[in-house]
Structure 1
């Protein structure tokens, strides 16, 4: 079993911190500590969820959060910057096309190693990176 973590864009962290910093500071300045505590709790929850985004290759199965993909059903892997919601914390993404019309966008930190590992299991994958 091999685990690959998601690449994280620094600007994404700044945007999230920027969004949550105003209500946190506002809550402290107006002595509405409940607001600050709530926002800090939500911020910790978001970063906890970020830490759980990973891609696991277990035998011939690729696990992306709750999605299990048979690696032999993967047809194509290509580079994309699609901002569509997905289990990826960076816009430096790859799309994995599997089955007939299914696709998932991910952003493994070690992209080349990840793709090479998939190719060891299924050498017929078309790679366009």
Structure 2
């Protein structure tokens, strides 16, 4: 089984961090450290969720381990198209940049592999009929 590296977008994490700090700014000025602690716990959970997403590929299936939300198993022979996308749907793609949408059966899912070319080539080795749109 081959691990496919996941792209974790620091721009997304920075945005979440800024929102968390901004939302507790008044409480920080009042030295209400409970509010800051709560924000840091939430930010820690977001970090944990982002870094626990894993992609794996074997000769038959592509697996997306979506942290606490379970694993999606996609038969590579059923993938008919992959394309780069800016789709911001909630998905197991912890990055805003470098998103890829995978179309299979009657579904699609958005992921963020670290190296699109390597990912594309690995899929095409198994299923050369995949339509690739960049």
Give the shorter-chain TM-score range: 0.7 to 0.9
Q: Partner residue of 1:61?
A: 61
Aligned-partner SS, 2:55? strand
Q: TM-score, normalised by structure 1?
A: 0.87
Which aligned pairs between 1:13-52 and structure 2 lie closer than 5 A?
Answer: 13-52=13-52
Distance in 2 separating the partners of 1:26 and 1:5:
39
C-alpha contact (below 8 Å) 1:5/1:54 kept by paired residues: yes
The alpha-carbon deviation at position 108 of structure 1 amounts to 0.5
Q: Partner residue of 1:73?
A: 78
Q: Partner residue of 2:102?
A: 96
Distance in 1 separating the partners of 2:30 and 2:5:
40
- Structure 2 residue ranges without an equivalent (≥5): 66-70
Coordinate RMSD, CA, aligned:
1.7
C-alpha contact (below 8 Å) 1:80/1:92 kept by paired residues: yes
1:121 pairs with one of 106, 118, 126: 126
C-alpha contact (below 8 Å) 2:82/2:133 kept by paired residues: yes
How many equivalent residue pairs? 128
The alpha-carbon deviation at position 86 of structure 1 amounts to 1.3
Q: TM-score, normalised by structure 2?
A: 0.84
Distance in 2 separating the partners of 1:97 and 1:124:
13
C-alpha contact (below 8 Å) 1:81/1:91 kept by paired residues: yes
